[in-house]
Amino acid sequence: MEAQVKRLLRTAAVGDRGSVSIFVAICLIGLMGLIALVFDGVGKINAQERLDDIASEAARAGAQGVDPTLAIPGTTIKVDPGRAITLAGDYLNQYKLKGQVTVNPAGTEIDVQIDSSYTPLFAGSIANLDLGITGHGHADLVYRVDKQ
């Protein structure tokens, strides 16, 4: 009887051999997938922030297009819409980006919107995936006149 119990315990122990390795492998695959999703998410956020920065700088570049015919005589300070759009577009062309540049009717505010896409490193290699991202930039024409 005692020999049968020992044999039964030995065969039961052989049946469980390697089960921890399978469990660890399954957990590691899930963990690697989670890390890949986090990595791709952070990459998208970084691409979004970069596009926002470029759009903001393009708006600031457009704000440099002050209309000299009004500014030099001291009539008013506002941008020439055509010149502002050209300056902002030239800035975007440096990065090979296209954007929509708008100037408010008063000529004191410039908005830039850039539409682009981000291809995730891990998810993009599994499925042909492109995520749409949009960059926004805004510049206010600010000037100050001190009277003495």
Helices (H), 63-121: 68-71, 81-94
Torsional sign, CA 62, 68, 70, 74: positive
pLDDT of residue 55: 97
pLDDT-derived band at 126, boundaries 50, 70, 90: confident
Tokens of 7: 């044999």
pTM: 0.77
Mean pLDDT along residues 39-44: 94
pLDDT of residue 73: 84
- Which tens digits make up the pLDDT trace of 60-114? 999 999 888 888 887 788 899 999 999 999 999 999 999 999 999 998 999 999 9
133 versus 128: which is more confidently predicted? 133
Asked if 92 contacts 114 with a C-beta cutoff of 8 angstroms, the reply is: yes
pLDDT of residue 3: 76
pLDDT averaged over the chain? 87
